Amino acid sequence: MSEGQASARTRAPVGRPLLSLTLAALMDEVHAHSGAVYLLSPDQPVLEMAVMAGLPRAFAAPWERIGLSAPIPVSAAVRERRLVWVAGEEEMALRYPRIAMVLPYPFALAALPVATPAKTYGAVFVTWPGSHPPELSDWEREHLTAVCDRLAVRLERAAEHSLPLAPEPDLLAAPVVGGVAGSLGTAEAARMVARLPYGLCSLDLHGRVAFANAAASELLGVASDGLLDRHLWAAVPWLNDPVYEDRYRAALFSQHVTSFVALRPPDTWLSFRLYPSTTGLSMRISRARAVTEMNRAAPPPGAARDRLVTITQVLGLAGALTEAVGVQDVVQLVADEIVPAVGGQGLVVLGSRAGRLRVLGHRGYADPQVVERFDGLPLSEPTPGGQVLRTGVPAFFESREELERLYPALQTHPSEFSAWAYLPLIASGRPVGTCVLSYGAPHRFATEERAVLTSLAGLIAQALERAMLYDVKHRLAHGLQEALLPHTLPALDGIEAAARYLPATRGMEIGGDFYDLVPTQGVAAAVIGDVQGHNVTAAGLMGQVRTAVHAYTAVGQAPDEVMRSTNRLLLDLGAELFASCLYLRLDPSRGRAVMSRAGHPPPLLRRPDGRVRVLDLAGGPLLGIDGAAAYPSTEVALPPGSLLVLYTDGLVESPGVDFEDALAELCRRLGELGDLPLDDLADALVRHGPHAADRLDDTAVLLLKAAR
């Protein structure tokens, strides 16, 4: 074999459908009824669905492409490199409300990373009906983990030999019945089905009709050849309602019998009962009884067309947008989930400030300057984005010629797109922005499509209004936080100091953590504390506590007296908030430190020889609880070269992690990294704590090192 032939053979795709076969075998062995394999994008933190089995991909449309930070089980499995188990509907709603909103059905789910010790390749999820026991068995856990580990090894080998994975089709079972009634079995079986007084239909996993007896055809009012191989809601116009499609989805996902009633115009109520299996649905249709009191209007007759956006996608978008925090979150979600769904290729989100157009975000433009040149233009300028934002009236341009005829100035800097939908984002009765969807080719916007796009813009507008308000509060919160914390630490004789503060990554990102270093005559005072809460009230009270400690230090109070005075102040203020605090006086000339503690995590002392000790000091309760509380002082030796680490609980506390274990890990890291320059050490401690990228609480660290 020549060298060229060997190289070509090396680069040939993996021959067998590796992912599909692995997933199918796994589902069969653990008796799961659906599942999917995701692969990690090589150039960005995104999981992309490679193959799905057991259910149509449309069921998982909102999650075909998801970020690693998304609150989704497969993303959590990859981030935390562990099996994620969701036992049922209630637990899904509690832990992953975004999924529960789109799939509010009883089912259980397991998600696992596909990873070797060195690299993560993707993730797998599988689902069971809601009848699955509330816990995975040990065998199921071991088997799921083993299969994913083996898949990771095979993907690693493929990567080592530069073998790309060829695209693989999704795995869906064949229809229950494949056409006419005679395929049910014997001729007698077909005659028996034909004689039944009620209608029988068979639907495949996509909802297409595979069989319908004569009674079903008569009850539905559609000839048999008009039913076969078509979606039931497309073949029967008055069933083209998301409510009925939802019952089909519920039956397949939960594998439970479901039912509904529907009005066949003008006045006939029919009862539908769906019996699911892993290969499709059997449906029984009969005349409904005792529903005369129901007065639901029937959908107007007429041929149904494919919906631009499915109910699954709308619910998925609504659920995703409820979790969008800032403006850029909204832009990213619309780009990932709406633009592809409506066939677009580009997105621009515009807003206004002080009478000028502002580009809030954009995606899909090869030359960003095409979009960014509009930023700062007066709203009075003749641009379609500004016109729509001012008037609240949508504009649709089906070709470049149509756009440039109405706005000739745009000819000087044309973009690569050829059609545009300019949608006003109206919230609380006023335009808050414009959403521009761009298409790569000329595009005809039919009346129904314009209505759907305008409706989707309403969802986006509500999310954008919340996001803009959040961003304003976020900026105000950071401004307040920066004003209350010291901008720099004073220089002290014999003491080197460094401090860091990181806000929580959730909520308002403002809290009550504080620190300070106060020079006094001959000695120095240091304080660190945490006021309960994550809001402006907590931050304001933190500023008062810090000021009080400063004042009590200046008049020469001892550490225990400073704590008692601050405790009384909190009670007098009547804020009904508590605070933890650690206060100490440093005397580097004597190599001593005197400390007093109020419910605060214990400080750490790293000795010059590298050993680390937890200073479990005696102390009193949190400040603001008991006016008569005492806060005893403790004197600690501070020889030259020793390092004191003061911190708030955000550095060591996180869900599911024992405090003692986290403290031991902090001691270990301090022992290893303690010889770093103090600023580098401070960065290392706060950036590599537990869940540093997803902080539920603020983190403050104050490092004090005695000079040698």
Q: What is the DSSP letter of 331?
A: H
Per-residue pLDDT averaged across 307-315, rounded? 57
Per-residue pLDDT averaged across 123-139, rounded? 91
Per-residue pLDDT averaged across 118-141, rounded? 91
Residue 538, SS3 per DSSP: helix
Classify domain 18-161 by CATH number. Answer: 3.30.450.40
Burial of 613 (0-12, 13-18, 19+ CB in 10 A): middle
Neighbours of 21 (CB within 10 A): 13
pLDDT in tens, 250-289: 888 888 888 888 888 888 888 888 888 877 888 888 887 6
Burial of 554 (0-12, 13-18, 19+ CB in 10 A): exposed
Q: How close are the terminal C-alpha atoms of the chain, in Å?
A: 70
pLDDT in tens, 56-92: 877 777 778 888 888 889 999 999 999 999 998 878 8
Contact 516, 457 (CB under 8 A): no
For the record, the structure tokens of 592 come out as 């001593």
Highest mean pLDDT among 263-277, 510-524, 666-680: 666-680
Band of residue 694 on the pLDDT scale cut at 50, 70, 90? low
Q: Show the 3-state SS of 11-45.
A: HCCCCCCHHHHHHHHHHHHHCCCEEEEEEECCCCC
Instruction: Kindly calculate the radius of gyration of the chain based on its CA atoms and give it in whole angstroms.
Output: 32
Tell me how far apart the alpha carbons of residues 382 and 385 are, in angstroms, rounded to a whole number.
9
Least confident interval from 161-170, 235-244, 253-262, 472-481 = 472-481
The pLDDT assigned to 38 comes to: 94
pLDDT at 9 over 80: no
Planar angle of CA 574, 556, 596, nearest 5 degrees = 65
Task: Look at residues 270, 291, 183 and name the one whose alpha carbon lies nearest to residue 218.
Answer: 270
Task: Look at residues 243, 240, 307, 241 and name the one whose alpha carbon lies nearest to residue 448.
Answer: 307
Band of residue 511 on the pLDDT scale cut at 50, 70, 90? low
The pLDDT assigned to 447 comes to: 72
Burial of 548 (0-12, 13-18, 19+ CB in 10 A): middle
Contacts of 527 (CB under 8 A, 6+ apart): 514, 515, 516, 518, 546, 549, 581, 582, 583, 584
The pLDDT assigned to 36 comes to: 93
Band of residue 6 on the pLDDT scale cut at 50, 70, 90? very low
Contact 321, 333 (CB under 8 A): yes
The pLDDT assigned to 122 comes to: 93
Mean pLDDT of the chain: 81
The pLDDT assigned to 66 comes to: 84
Which amino acid, 707? A
For the record, the structure tokens of 28 come out as 């069969």
Contact 438, 346 (CB under 8 A): yes
Burial 95-123 (b: 16+ CB within 10 A, else e): ebebbbbbbbbbbbbbbbbbbeeeebbbb
Tell me how far apart the alpha carbons of residues 74 and 39 are, in angstroms, rounded to a whole number.
11
- Locate CATH 3.30.450.20 in the chain: 191-287
Q: Which residue has the tokens 């010059």?
A: 608
Q: What is the DSSP letter of 490?
A: P
Q: What CATH superfamily classification does 485-706 receive?
A: PPM-type phosphatase domain (3.60.40.10)
Band of residue 295 on the pLDDT scale cut at 50, 70, 90? very low
pLDDT at 358 over 70: yes
Contacts of 47 (CB under 8 A, 6+ apart): 38, 39, 40, 41, 65, 66, 67, 68, 74, 75, 78, 122, 123
Highest mean pLDDT among 231-245, 292-306, 371-385, 654-668: 371-385
- Locate CATH 3.30.450.40 in the chain: 18-161, 313-476
Q: What is the DSSP letter of 329?
A: H
Q: Which residue has the tokens 């501070």?
A: 638
Tell me how far apart the alpha carbons of residues 438 and 420 are, in angstroms, rounded to a whole number.
5
pLDDT at 292 over 50: no
The pLDDT assigned to 185 comes to: 46
| Bond before 621 cis per omega within 30 degrees | no
Per-residue pLDDT averaged across 677-692, rounded? 77
CB-side neighbour CA atoms (13 Å) of 650: 32
The pLDDT assigned to 554 comes to: 83
The fold of the 313-476 domain, in CATH, is: Beta-Lactamase (3.30.450)
Least confident interval from 43-57, 301-315, 325-339, 588-602 = 301-315
Looking at the chain, the whole-number percentage of residues with pLDDT higher than 70 is 82
Per-residue pLDDT averaged across 210-234, rounded? 85
| DSSP for 215-275, written as a single string | HHHHHHTS-HHHHBTSBHHHHSGGG--HHHHHHHHHHHHH-S-EEEEEEETTTEEEEEEEE
pLDDT at 203 over 70: yes
- The separation between CA 241 and the C-alpha centre of its own chain, rounded to angstroms, equals 29
Highest mean pLDDT among 199-213, 356-370, 645-659: 356-370
DSSP element (H, E) containing 458: helix 447-484
Least confident interval from 40-49, 60-69, 222-231 = 60-69
Task: Look at residues 618, 570, 574, 576 and name the one whose alpha carbon lies nearest to residue 594.
Answer: 618
Band of residue 607 on the pLDDT scale cut at 50, 70, 90? very high
Its CATH class, for the domain covering 191-287, is: alpha beta
Per-residue pLDDT averaged across 139-158, rounded? 92
The pLDDT assigned to 315 comes to: 59
Band of residue 212 on the pLDDT scale cut at 50, 70, 90? confident
The pLDDT assigned to 332 comes to: 87
Which amino acid, 413? H
pLDDT at 109 over 90: yes
Tell me how far apart the alpha carbons of residues 127 and 107 are, in angstroms, rounded to a whole number.
7
pLDDT at 28 over 60: yes
Per-residue pLDDT averaged across 568-596, rounded? 87
- Please tell me which residue, 472 or 237, carries the higher pLDDT value: 237
